[in-house]
Structure 1
Amino acid sequence: MSSAPPLGLIGIGLLGSVLAQRLLAGGFRVVGHDLDPTRRDLLARDGGEAVADSGEVFRRCRRILLSLPSHREVTEVLTAHASTLQSGSILIDTTTGDPASAAALAHGLAVRGITYLDATVSGSSAQVRDGIAILMVGGNAAAFQDCADLFSKLGGEAYHTGGPGTGAKMKLVTNVVLGLNRAALAEGLALARGLGLDAEQAFAIMSRGPAYSRVMDRKGEKMLRGDFAPEARLSQHLKDVRLILQQGQAAGLPMPLSETHRRLLEAAEAAGLGALDNSAIIQVLGPTAGGPAKE
């Protein structure tokens, strides 16, 4: 384990826990906090140091990752610890959120000598665990370079996308394509079942032909088996799609496919599927869509 100062982590959920695992495996020390004591216990079992007071993370660590549901929680945490945040700190926020909020956080913290990077992640928690996720980082270029050592442990590649808020923008752009690929796969499998075809054979054919996308590698088996243990929750992607539509409206762009996607996700959430994996969208596309085919 490195003798360098520890890295901080606020939020030990689906993503935060695997970020910690990657960093610990890479030789970093990690000091982390989560409101849920069971999540703190998870970090401790993985070899990190869990603390009950988030302020301790800000006091002890110069570089701190934030892995929280939205910028609302990020703002609440930073406001609560305004007097604890140290000049010279770098906050690395993995939240998928409103780009304007990310830029405002960066500018507000910069006047106090604190650097904020919107370091969004393209990939599920499982893909982060496997080291194949992509990081898209907006903010100060020198701070991006200063964090290259930890970025190299977190994902397959890290890209500096520009100034504050651009990492958040790029994440929404990638999520348009990712989410629609996932919905298209679900609809295709639902149609195969509805036509009385072997859905596994249909999946194999799609996987080997021009219909292939990498979404199939992670979500195909989950859809076929009806295994919706969350790697990335459906409700979180609905939040992202709403942000995507807001950004499209601000840019004057019609986004008819994303509008349809939003309605499907809202139907899934209304059906009680929000806490499940985002592949559970298949459940609203047909009565036999999300499990083994009927004999």
Structure 2
Amino acid sequence: MKKIGFLGLGIMGQAMASNLVRAGFEVTVWNRNPDKCAPLVELGARQAESPREVAAECDVSFAILADPAAAKEVCFVAEGVLAGIGDGRGYVDMSTVDSDTSQSIADAINSAGGRFLEAPVSGTKKPAEDGTLIILAAGDRSLYDEAVPAFEKMGKLCPYLGTTGQGARMKLVVNMIMGGMMTAFCEGLALGQKSGLEGNQILEILMAGALANPMFGGKGPMILQGEFPTSFPLKHMQKDLRLAIALGDQLGQPLATAAAANESFKRARQLGLEEADFAAVFKTID
């Protein structure tokens, strides 16, 4: 893998692409807002004018985009990835999308003579910066093997999960559980404090027992302070819950807890919190 492309330089993409540049890869970047390319160019990346240019010039192009609509647009527009892919070059979509979206992109890339791998990530801003994401890859095995050296600079674990769609489904399961845990956590903190318990003591007790986990440890102080600097935007969590519930509908799987959590996140969006960290769902409960 000589040349790497990277499409999408939001909170996650900026950190992930930076790790690739710092690791010595030859990286070409593109973002809808070109100004976001500047920090990467300062590190040594090259800026492209379009997704087509990235896909045409790079051996493997990575993308991490906001939602299914953005993932499709970057692929299918006139100057999109599909217009530049071919000759066995690889496209790795690390966006969190539903399996149908992933499959439609895979089919198009393969038909154009490229190779496709889905690789959504589990983790937020800090793991992206630290290169400790969990990368959930599925699709073309040869492309997976080729992408592993880059994955190892972005994540700490990159299992191969099989055919296209399995990575997308695994990511929705992970984020569905995370969203449900966050709403239960917020309800517990709200109940405890309103009953006269001290917030920091609640956290201390939780972190000393079977409920201890990095999310509670990281988000708890944020919730108690009432400040929600964005690590994982609330709007993306609500999107992931919606996609997980849709998958449950397809499979006839009841998801009562996830559905309830989704309503809390929808309410948070109505309150104007969609750009805040997803822990701001506390404001719908407090």
State the TM-score, normalizing by the size of structure 1.
0.91
Task: Identify which range, 109-118 or 149-158, moves more after superposition.
Answer: 109-118
Unmatched tracts of structure 2, length 5 or more:
none
CA separation in 1, counterparts of 2:70 and 2:222?
Answer: 30
Q: Helix, strand or coil for the counterpart of 1:19?
A: helix
Query: Is 2:193 the partner of 1:196?
Result: no
User: In the TM superposition, what are the counterparts of 1:1-295 in structure 2 within 5 Å?
Assistant: 5-79=2-76, 80=78, 81=80, 82-286=82-286
Check 1:260–1:168 CA distance in 2 against 1; reply closer, same or farther (3 A cut). Answer: same
CA separation in 2, counterparts of 1:205 and 1:165?
Answer: 39
CA separation in 2, counterparts of 1:46 and 1:241?
Answer: 36
Contact 1:233–1:278 (8 Å) recurs in 2:
yes
Compute the displacement of 1:284 (Å). Answer: 1.1
**Which contiguous aligned blocks of 4+ residues in structure 1 show a shift greater than 4 angstroms?**
none
CA separation in 1, counterparts of 2:193 and 2:95?
Answer: 37
Write out per-residue CA displacement over residues 185-227 of structure 1, whole angstroms, 9 at most, x where no aligned residue. Answer: 2111111221122101111111111222221233122212223
CA separation in 2, counterparts of 1:85 and 1:72?
Answer: 20
CA RMSD of aligned residues (A): 1.5
Q: Helix, strand or coil for the counterpart of 1:55?
A: helix
Q: Helix, strand or coil for the counterpart of 1:159?
A: coil
CA separation in 2, counterparts of 1:52 and 1:108?
Answer: 22
More helix by share: 2
CA separation in 2, counterparts of 1:71 and 1:177?
Answer: 20
Contact 1:115–1:140 (8 Å) recurs in 2:
yes
CA separation in 1, counterparts of 2:21 and 2:226?
Answer: 32
State the TM-score, normalizing by the size of structure 2.
0.94
Q: Helix, strand or coil for the counterpart of 1:236?
A: helix
Contact 2:29–2:46 (8 Å) recurs in 1:
yes
Counterpart of 1:8, as a letter, is G
Compute the displacement of 1:40 (Å). Answer: 1.4
CA separation in 2, counterparts of 1:278 and 1:219?
Answer: 9
Unmatched tracts of structure 1, length 5 or more:
287-295
Q: Helix, strand or coil for the counterpart of 2:136?
A: strand
Corresponding pairs, count: 283
CA separation in 2, counterparts of 1:178 and 1:276?
Answer: 16
